[in-house]
Amino acid sequence: MTLALIGEDFVRALLQGTPPGTVYALIGLGFVLTYKTSGVFNLAFGAQAYISAAMFFKARQEWGWGIVPAVVLSVFVIAPAIGLTLERLIFRNLRTASAVSKLVIAIGLSVALPALFELIADYKPVAGRTPTGIVPDGSSVFYDPTGVYPFSRDELAQIIVAGVGVILLGAMFRFTSMGLAMRGVVESPRMTELAGIPADRVSALAWAISSIFAGMAGVLIAPRLNTLISNDFFTLMVLAMAAAAVGRLVSLPGAFFGGMGLGWFIAVFNTYLPRWADDHTWLEPFKDNLTPSLPFVVLFGILVFWPAIRRAVDAADPLSGVDPPPPALAATTRHPLLTLQTRIFGVCFLGLVGWLGFTQADVRWIALLSTATVLSIIYLSITVITGFAGQISLCQGAFAAIGAFTVFQLVDRYDMSALTAALIGAAIAAVVGAIVALPVLKLGGVWLAIATLAFAFFFDAVIVKFSWVGGGESALFSGTQVPRPVIGPFDFGESDRAFLALAVIVLVIVSVAVIQLREGTIGQSLRALRSSEVAAESIGISPARARIVAFAVSAFIAGLGGAFLAMLEGDVNYPKNFSPVAAMFWLVLVVSLSARTVEGAIQAGAAFALFSPVILEGSFLEWLPYFNEDNLPGIFPISAKWRFVLFGLTAIQFARHPEGMLEFGKRRATQKRNDRYYARDAERAAAPEAAT
């Protein structure tokens, strides 16, 4: 191999990496623009790109539109319309909300928007129907100016369009007052308004522009994909996140060069890794696994090692004192009588459900109840990390999967008892959780969310593929089978009802532990950290230690829950249960109901397990006298996608009621009753005095 040959390969890799690099840069810029101007770390960006791409695809291939009208519709009408709608209906009201609550809403939207679009536009991804680009014959006509790498027309279009977008955006920030106003709005909308600048209009414009960028990027990147599926666009967005992270999410040039650099880096890596692997056999297993996950490794690496990010300090709004303080938990302000009533009702309700579950329920209902119970265990892990510690973790699915895979491996290889294996799995998850959290804990907030997201995708793309985790090829044939435990005379595999009882016992134990955690030193420390990190540190609380403990405990619970979910289903079912996107939906569900209480997690578990079969499939009507399985009204079954739409959109409530919808309703109801009881107490106290 001559030196000249290496040089030529290198140049070819760079040229090959340029077109995707410009698209990453385009999305990265849109990302930075939204973050800079609205403080929203817009995880729904991928969803927006997907919608534009799918709209373009539908207009071109199904309606037979020309290229220009299709681009106008998908990029310049639909995309900004979505952006403006989101800004007007959701993010405008949240401008002063915390970065974390905006993030949760963006996650909710990223779950809801693709499902909503597919329902409204009646779009179904069909395998093999490859999208086309914005120039005719984009993928079949090539130009080769350098003699090293032939660019397709599509690729040239990507470079040109993205380049023009970058220049226009740069010019706007450089030469108009709008750039300064946009930066002002994100730091303190109130102070910007004091300067006489309508903050609403500024941020609406920013949303429209960044949404056009997202739509453009979606349409440009689509020809690189075989089939238009929303998950691919989510992955694409994670790539762009790495680009944006290079510029600490706030620097436009940083995002641009980050995107280009990422495109080049991936291309160079893909060129050379197979060769190195030929020379060094130990690289062989990485060759197949590392390539698809490179973006996530890069993202995680940037977060951990990029010095600029450590220096990034969220600027606080000096006028945040204008906002009211967060309310206390409903249960802590309850009148004693009301507490008693609540508890009696709770015991009766649980007793009724328990009686029905253990004596009356058929197989289907026992399965549903078991799923709800096991999911509740997993959701308690979110209660700990998000509800108590106030941190967003997007890799709870990975932790749960660690628990599940551990049971699978230990039973499969060493014939270990399933229950012991579940505990070991939970412990491994806890260790992994602490290790993942360690390097990024100082960053906190949005950065922790990004890092955990990167880890979740890394786990998904690499770790699961290893045979010592996911079972490798043998799992393709026989699945990742997980048995249920046998304790003494009880074989929980024999009876679903017994397994339900076991799951309930575990849930109760975990619930008590979580409540203990909340009331104990760690819980108090976490609460103090949420109120004021500075004040908490000044009384000797170490934020890093408290959070690592919270992370480890949360991962432990997730691992345990994951193991039980695998035992319940008899198989790990990784793609269905634990994929990063599925786990994001968990988070959305829990925080939109109530992230700070144990009941909230259990209600979320019930909602996840029961909403689809009972409400959407219309089973609840069968409880009424007239209906039975065969005469349900024609609208049933409702598409299960509505579940994503509904719960995704309820996340919007998170900012207004960060305690969750149920907790909010509970507080309002409690307030009324409280007032009445306390008024009566006061009357009684006054009555004897009047008598004397």
List residues near another protein by CB under 8 A.
Answer: 177, 180-181, 183-184, 187-188, 190-200, 313, 315-316, 318-319, 322-325, 327
CB of 666 to another protein, least distance (A): 16
Q: How far is the CB of 592 from another protein (least distance, A)?
A: 21
Question: Does residue 96 contact residue 323 with C-beta atoms inside 8 Å?
Answer: yes
What's CA 99's distance to the chain center, in Å? 15
- Shortest distance, position 250 Cβ to another protein, whole Å: 8
Do residues 457 and 238 lie in contact, with contact meaning Cβ atoms separated by under 8 Å? yes
3-state secondary structure of 571: strand
Three-state SS for 267? helix
Least distance to another protein, CB of residue 251, Å: 12
Q: Kindly tell me which of 130 and 674 has the beta carbon lying closer to another protein.
A: 674
Q: Is 60 exposed, middle or buried (0-12, 13-18, 19+ CB in 10 A)?
A: buried
Shortest distance in whole angstroms from residue 32 CB to another protein: 14
Cα angle 441, 438, 572; round to 5? 105
487 φ/ψ angles, rounded to the nearest 5 degrees: -120, 115
CB 78 within 8 A of CB 51: yes
Give the nearest distance from C-beta 249 to another protein in angstroms.
Answer: 12
Nearer CB in complex with another protein: 317/599: 317
Identity of the residue, 324 or 488, whose beta carbon is nearer to another protein in the bound complex: 324
Nearer to another protein, 8 or 200 (CB): 200
DSSP character at residue 329 = P
Residue 370 CA to residue 498 CA, distance in Å, equals 10
Closer residue to another protein, CB minimum distance, 5 or 322: 322
Within 13 A of 20's CA, how many CA atoms are on the CB side? Answer: 22
Contact 92, 203 (CB under 8 A): yes
Choice between 191 and 498, CB closer to another protein: 191
Q: For another protein, give the closer residue by CB, 184 or 444.
A: 184
In contact, 123 and 58? CB cutoff 8 Å: yes
CB of 327 to another protein, least distance (A): 8
Three-state DSSP string of 613-665: HHHHCCHHHHCCCCCCCCCCCCCCCCCCHHHHHHHHHHCCHHHHCCCCHHHHH
CB of 37 to another protein, least distance (A): 13
Helices 79-89 and 45-57: crossing angle in degrees, nearest 10, is 140
Residue with Cβ nearer another protein (21 or 184)? 184
Tokens of 24: 């990453």
Q: What are phi and psi of 101, to 5 degrees?
A: -70, -35
Comparing CB distances to another protein, the nearer of 201 and 364 is 201
| Min separation Cβ 385 and another protein, Å | 27
Q: Is 313 or 691 the residue whose CB approaches another protein more closely?
A: 313
Distance of closest approach, residue 176 Cβ to another protein, in angstroms = 10
Of 95, 75, 92, the closest CA to residue 84 belongs to 92
Residue closest to 52 by CA, chosen among 254, 227, 218: 218
Q: Smallest gap, in angstroms, from Cβ of residue 183 to another protein?
A: 7
Please say which residue, 183 or 641, places its beta carbon nearer to another protein: 183
User: 126 in helix, strand or coil?
Assistant: coil
- Distance between CA atoms of residues 19 and 156, nearest Å: 7
